[in-house]
Amino acid sequence: MAIYNSILDTIGRTPIVRINRLAPAGVEMYVKFEAFNPGGSVKDRLALAIILDAEAKGLIKPGQTVVEATSGNTGVALAMVCAAKGYSFVAFMAETFSVERRKLMRAFGAKVILTPAAERGSGMVKRAKEYADKHGAFLARQFENEANPSFHRNTTGPEILQDFAGRRLDWYVTGWGTGGTFTGAGEMIRLARPETRIVLAEPAVAALVSGQEWKPHKIQGLNKNVAHEMVPVDEVVARDTARALAQEEGIFCGISSGGTFAAALDIAKKAKQGDVILAMLPDTGERYLSTFLFEGVNEGTDVELADL
């Protein structure tokens, strides 16, 4: 066991876990489970990257407030990083997003300002910028910040390459999100292991769960051409696959993780005998208890067992 100087030092080095029951015969499947980050998602990497970069460039000063528009995971991650660093954090979040994420941010001492559902993603982004401008706060700009993919080039990609050193890795499957994981890790894998096929899982409709509108990314260096192919995933399939990972593998993950692993299962159907497939699972399922992921899940007694 290691001793760390800060909770932030535990970000990264997430485990790669073999899939034993859901993997079809003839292929090996693994997942990199980002829920092992202290804030419960891959966005811990993004949040730490943005704050460290801002400190190095003198863009944020002690006692300053950090502001961001977020659908949840980035906000939770920034709230955690800011708590550990001593910054105040204010999140702007559309009122449609799950209550669990609001409470998680507040648990870290953050303030959450809800924006009208009718304004969708663009509304919370606009209001976050207005607040930052008015109060002289640091705006994280997750969708425009080069520190995001850069951090994945320096951490996530090398971690995967190290863990698979001397082993086959035929397929790497990941989602898009802000694009940082896909671009940063994907570029490093493609550079070091040109034989590995990079697959991008995308929702078959514009909004997988959150209803978040698609926005073109402005981060310098984000590149969809890193992917050799893209696999569309239906939202119900994503939900059911996330549930299957919990029930068959003991891996409790969010719906985007389910979507990515569903794409990996599609790849497995056409993969060659002996192929090795790695899928990224970006977060835990615990922040989706009130969402579509748990729709229809019983909250009372399991009647068929009640009298046993």
Interior CA angle at 24 toward 175 and 231, to 5°?
25
Chain-centroid distance of CA 190 in Å reads: 21
Active-site hit among 41, 150, 256, 257? 256
Q: What is the sign, positive or negative, of the torsion defined by CA atoms of 290, 293, 295, 301?
A: negative
Between CA 187 and CA 160 the distance in angstroms is 12
Instruction: Assess whether 256 carries a catalytic annotation.
Output: yes
Instruction: Assess whether 122 carries a catalytic annotation.
Output: no
Q: Among candidates 124, 131, 185, which has minimal Cα distance to 154?
A: 185
Residue type at position 170: D
Residue type at position 77: A
- The residue whose two tokens read 């190095």 is 56
Active-site hit among 41, 43, 71, 150? 43
Q: Cβ(226)–Cβ(182) under 8 Å?
A: yes
List beta partners, residue 281.
Answer: 33
Q: Cβ(178)–Cβ(50) under 8 Å?
A: no
List the catalytic residues: 43, 256
